Structure 1
């Protein structure tokens, strides 16, 4: 069985980091906190950039698309069309709600 991690697991592992922070700082902080191997692996896979905050890290980390993000198929399609930062996992890019969902919510 394959274990996966969620963006929330990664954010929890780096919650004590002072930002801005680079990739190596994030990995080291997660190790010190005793993060699961899956979290460390997810952090190793992010682009080697300077991150301004936890949200940027959460958007860049690759996790199981079905983890806990709750995006509809329409929202995932919108992400695929619009793209995002290079290296950013498609399922973590922000997308607006499709008009049909907006109408249903109102």
Structure 2
């Protein structure tokens, strides 16, 4: 996981015109002189078209403590609810398949 905050990522994308795809976001961040951590965080987002900055904030994987100033209760609620399909999977509790449980014994 990258050590960039959501604010760092969004700050590097201030001059992006939306909608924008992942490639365009990466190019804009590089042009803005973004740090390696910001570039790494953007590389981890799904390859789709983003319509606004909030879509990016929901998609980028950053340290949980950098979560746009949300309280712990708000972060927990967000983790329970999940995000768009295929996103925020690292926050969800997923039971191990029976084969993995057997191998762990």
TM-score of Structure 1 vs Structure 2, range by shorter chain: 0.7 to 0.9
Whole-Å separation in 2 of the counterparts to 1:85 and 1:3: 21
- Give unpaired runs (5+ residues) of structure 2: 91-105
Residue 86 (structure 1) shift? 2.4
* Contact 1:79/1:90, CA 8 A, preserved across alignment: no
Aligned length: 90
Please list, as runs of the form range in 1=range in 2, the aligned pairs for 1:28-67 lying within 5 A after superposition.
28-67=27-66
Q: Which portions of structure 1, spanning 4 or more consecutive aligned residues, are displaced by more than 4 angstroms?
A: none
TM-score, normalising length: structure 1: 0.74
Q: Deviation at 1:77?
A: 2.4
Shift of 1:8: 0.6
Relative to the length of structure 2, the TM-score reads 0.74
User: Are the aligned partners of 1:46 and 1:87 in contact in 2 as well (CA < 8 Å)?
Assistant: no
Matches within 5 A, 1:62-101: 62-67=61-66, 69-89=68-88
Structure-2 separation of matches of 1:3 and 1:21: 21
Q: Return the offset for 1:73.
A: 3.2
Contact 1:60 1:87 in 2 (8 A): no
C-alpha RMSD over aligned residues = 2.2
**Aligned match of 2:98:** none
The structure number with the bigger radius of gyration is 2
Structure 1 unaligned regions, length at least 5: 92-106
